[in-house]
Amino acid sequence: MPARRLSMRKIREILRLLWECELSQRQVASCCGISKATVVACAARARRSGMCRQTAAAMSDAELEARLYPPAEASSSSPRPAVDWPEVHRQLKGKNVTLQLLWEEYREREPRGYRYSRFCELYQRWRKRTDVTMLQVHRAGEKLFVDYCGQTVPVVEAQTGGVREAQVFVAVWGASNCTYAEATWTQSLPDWIGAHVRAFEFSGGVPEMVVPDNTTTGVKSPCRYEPELNPTYRDLAAHYGTAVIPARVRRPRDKAKVELGVQVVQRWILARLRHRTFFSLAELNEAIRELLVRLNDRPFRKLPGSRRSLFESLDRPALRPLPAERFVYAEWKKARVNVDYHVEVERHYYSVPYQHVGQQLDVRVSAQTVECFLRGQRVASHVRSCRQGQHTTRLGGRPPPLGDGS
């Protein structure tokens, strides 16, 4: 993906992860669902422009784009075009696809690219590096692994007597193995986001990065190399100053930590609750919290201390502080402006400036507000209304009255 085609919202996210979260370029590429070459190009442009985090934040999208993409200048020498080796490796798994064929297609796209012998040499070098299995060493406060248990817990509804299955969310710290768990009614986006917020508050801080599985709730487009996050999930990461880097598809080592944590929660918590009957989600979570204390305080068999003691000595000092305000849940939708300069959100109609008729906007919907954005710039904001079929109109956005023709 050429860096020129990136939206300014994506570019701002890349710069935030590089400057604020201090991630590597490879981690930023995985987090943003783009190639590493695109991140390298974007970072190089920012470095050449002489910008810093504060100056970039103060610029509008148009100013930032003009700063990062000035008119091209002729250059007598430029580096070889980068090769997307993961894509080459994936293509080689296709029937009758050879390295010779992929090189020929590469040279058609990039006439100044590598010759065949160098192309093969670089691919083999890349493959040797990726085939090595390494012990994963997690730095203090670096990663929080999250997932849902496969096992559910039945909850009896007191009024109807019906049984509803509750889902169990699990979060595990990489360095200490300190574990958080809670029950939610569903694995939907509101429950998924809310569980993250409560996990951060339980820990008293924020990790450098969150590592989920490629669940469709948090990852909009699961992909082995370029997963795309749900916009609300990305907003959560920006609010807490962290990064979300999903585990790669069909890479069990990436999520081994949380899979072990899920197994521990199922054996040490859910198994102990199998004979109990719960009549509300709050009652179930109270029981989980009691057993969670025992789990984290339980001494290790072969190591000194416990999950909690390791967390207090390793992870907690390295955590980033919680923001002053809790994250406000909001979902992103797309809506096209009708001829009456209104957009429809859940069967209510909100006005935008008439100049945007026919354009598709990004709409952020929270419990209290509805905000409309065009290429990252907010063009309208309204108090959310639940009256279906009604209109909320700002007078300032109306078109000028037509003349009477006299």
Structural domain spans, the chain = 3-71+80-131, 143-318, 330-397
Contacts 24+ apart (CB under 8 A), 40-46: 40/82, 41/2, 41/3, 42/3, 42/6, 42/11, 42/14, 42/15, 42/68, 43/14, 43/15, 43/18, 45/3, 45/69, 46/15, 46/18
Q: Which helix (H) or strand (E) holds 371?
A: strand 369-374
Cα dist from 346 to 47, 321, 336, 363, whole Å: 43, 36, 13, 11
Q: How many CB atoms lie within 10 A of CB 300?
A: 12
pLDDT value at position 406? 40
Q: Tell me the pTM.
A: 0.65
Contact 209, 244 (CB under 8 A): yes
**CA–CA gap between residue 167 and residue 182 (Å, rounded):** 8
Cα dist from 25 to 15, 247, 283, whole Å: 10, 17, 45
Tens place of pLDDT for every residue, the chain, 406 residues? Answer: 344 457 888 888 888 888 888 888 888 888 888 888 888 888 888 888 888 888 888 888 888 888 887 765 544 456 778 888 878 876 766 556 688 888 888 888 888 888 898 889 888 888 777 654 444 556 788 889 999 998 999 999 878 888 999 999 999 988 888 999 999 999 988 999 999 999 999 999 999 999 887 666 666 555 454 557 788 888 899 999 998 888 765 555 555 666 888 888 998 899 999 889 999 999 999 999 999 999 999 998 766 788 999 889 888 888 999 999 999 888 888 999 998 899 999 889 999 998 889 899 988 888 888 999 998 889 898 998 888 889 998 877 677 775 544 4
Give me the residue label for tokens 């100053």: 241
Contact 254, 248 (CB under 8 A): yes
pLDDT value at position 2? 42
pLDDT value at position 74? 41
**CA–CA gap between residue 59 and residue 64 (Å, rounded):** 6
Tokens standing for residue 367: 């419990």
pLDDT value at position 34? 86
Cβ-Cβ contacts under 8 Å for 362 (sequence gap 6 or more) = 332, 333, 334, 372, 373, 374
Opening angle at CA 194, ends 188 and 199, nearest 5: 125
pLDDT value at position 302? 64
| DSSP single-letter state for residue 306 | B
Q: Architecture of 143-318 per CATH? A: 2-Layer Sandwich (3.30)
Beta strand 163-173 with 179-184 is antiparallel
Contact 397, 343 (CB under 8 A): no
